Amino acid sequence: MIELDNVAYSYGGGELLSGITFGLQPGSFHFLTGPSGAGKTTFLKLCYGALIATSGEVRLFDQDVRSMTRDDVAMTRRRVGVVHQDVQFLDHLPLADNVALPLTVSGRGALDEAANLKELLNWVGLNHRADALPPELSGGERQRAALARAVIMSPDIILADEPTGNIDWEMSQRLLRLLVELNKMGKTIMIATHDLALIRAAKTQVQARVLRIANRQLQLAGADL
Minimum CB distance to ligand ATP, residue 89 (Å): 20
Neighbours of 55 (CB within 10 A): 12
Please pick, from the candidates 2, 28, 30, 40, the single residue that binds ligand ATP as defined by CB under 6 A: 40
Minimum CB distance to ligand ATP, residue 30 (Å): 15
Q: Examine residue 16 and tell whether it contacts ligand ATP (CB under 6 A).
A: yes
Closer residue to ligand ATP (CB): 41 or 188: 41
Backbone angles phi, psi at 192, to 5 degrees: -85, 130
Report yes or no: 7 and 51 within 8 Å, Cβ to Cβ.
Answer: no
List, in order, residues 6 or more apart from 113 with CB less than 8 Å away: 100, 103, 104
Q: Examine residue 212 and tell whether it contacts ligand ATP (CB under 6 A).
A: no
Closer residue to ligand ATP (CB): 39 or 134: 39
H helices present in 80-138, as ranges? 95-106, 110-123
Minimum CB distance to ligand ATP, residue 97 (Å): 29
Going from the C-alpha of 147 to that of each of 135, 151, 220, the distances in angstroms are 17, 6, 26
Q: Examine residue 163 and tell whether it contacts ligand ATP (CB under 6 A).
A: no
Closer residue to ligand ATP (CB): 41 or 98: 41
26/62 Cα distance (integer angstroms): 13
Q: Examine residue 36 and tell whether it contacts ligand ATP (CB under 6 A).
A: yes
Q: Examine residue 47 and tell whether it contacts ligand ATP (CB under 6 A).
A: no
Minimum CB distance to ligand ATP, residue 85 (Å): 6
Closer residue to ligand ATP (CB): 39 or 102: 39
Please pick, from the candidates 28, 41, 172, 188, the single residue that binds ligand ATP as defined by CB under 6 A: 41
- DSSP SS3 for 55: strand
List, in order, residues 6 or more apart from 14 with CB less than 8 Å away: none
Stretch that binds ligand ATP, among 35-43, 58-66, 86-94, 119-127 (CB under 6 A): 35-43
116/110 Cα distance (integer angstroms): 10
Minimum CB distance to ligand ATP, residue 56 (Å): 17
Neighbours of 147 (CB within 10 A): 25
Residues near ligand ATP (CB under 6 A): 11, 16, 34, 36-42
